[in-house]
Amino acid sequence: MKVLSSIKMGEDRLKKLLSAQPGVRIVQVKEFKEIDPEVEILLTYGWDIKKDTLELFPNLRWIQTLSAGVDALPLDKLAEKGVVLTNVKGAHKIQMAEHVIWSILMLLRQGVTFVQQQEKKIFSAKPKIDEMYGKTVCVVGAGTIGKEIAKKCKVFGMTVYGVSRRGEQHPNFSRIVTADKMQEVLKISDIVVVVLPLTPYTKNFIGREFLGNMKEGAILINASRGPVADEDALLNALKEKRIGAAALDVFIQEPLSEDSPFWSLDNVVITPHIGGRTIQASERMWDVFTLNLAKYPDRTEMINIIDLSAGY
């Protein structure tokens, strides 16, 4: 069984993987460019898998991506060829939830203002500080990450609503609704957190209608994917103060260009797509692949298998 990896790994990591599956061979490459009928498994971050890539490996059975999002991969071609795709869902929930809490606190407690005051040596308590306690938050995308966000928000004394495709209830939320009833919870939420995967359905999900349904003065946290937001509609809502503020970790164009109008808005906190990054996250991501490698080829025992038609 041959694994081809475009992700560099150290000797200790390699030994751990080899012990997980007897008889496995792991070859590391900079890119997938050579025809190889022996390759059965690809390990990747996902960006280097195109339709043409799949033609190089006629006996490919499984792709493991060390990312949560799989929108860059040719899902239709994978389905056509019967290739299993797994991601590292769950490996990002802790740091993503902490990033969301940090984003909320930065906006409510005027974090940017106080950093600016420190730089100017201004000792002033005039900025208006708000609390998380007692606020209502709506988490759009009540999956693994969304549930962890809800759990932490409840600890802060918040009322938490969720939006999901199926509307299946979960104890971390006061209530979960489907997208057709989302308007009801958006109108009463002080904070709206979006953690959706990027699919054809979710592209431009944060649009004029979505923003128009938000409570006036509410805060938006976008920690999903850049194209999930219609940036023109979002810019207008922020400039007109239709929504109070936003913490944005993702953008359509990354890195965000120096001439982007988002930089100049005083009601926006910008981070460079780091919501899912911590030192500890890497270990959790590798743990998913190690477990799946040990269970392969038994698909019933493998975790995080992507529904290729849904895109997540």
Q: Which residues are catalytic?
A: 225, 254, 273
Residues 13 and 34 sit within 8 Å (Cβ to Cβ) = no
> CA 231, 270, 183 angle in degrees (round to 5)?
50
Q: Which is it for the CA torsion 202, 54, 276, 172, positive or negative? A: positive
Alpha-carbon gap, residue 159 to 198, rounded angstroms: 27
Residue 280 DSSP class: T
Distances (CA, A) of 269 to 30, 94, 224: 35, 21, 15
Q: In this structure, what token pair is assigned to residue 201?
A: 């359905």
Query: Would you give the DSSP letter of residue 71?
Result: T
Residues with Cβ within 8 Å of 124's Cβ and at least 6 positions away in sequence, in order, are 117
Q: Are strands 39-44 and 62-65 parallel, antiparallel or unpaired?
A: parallel
| Residues in a beta bridge with 5 | 28, 43
Whether the bond between 255 and the residue before it is cis, its omega within 30 degrees of 0, is yes
Q: Where does the chain have alpha helices with state H? A: 11-20, 51-54, 75-81, 93-108, 111-119, 144-155, 182-186, 208-213, 231-239, 281-295
Provide the 3-class DSSP secondary structure of residue 195: coil
Q: Label the pairing between strands 268-270 and 191-194.
A: unpaired
Residue 241, CB half-sphere, CA atoms under 13 Å: how many? 2
At position 31, the amino acid (one-letter code) is: E
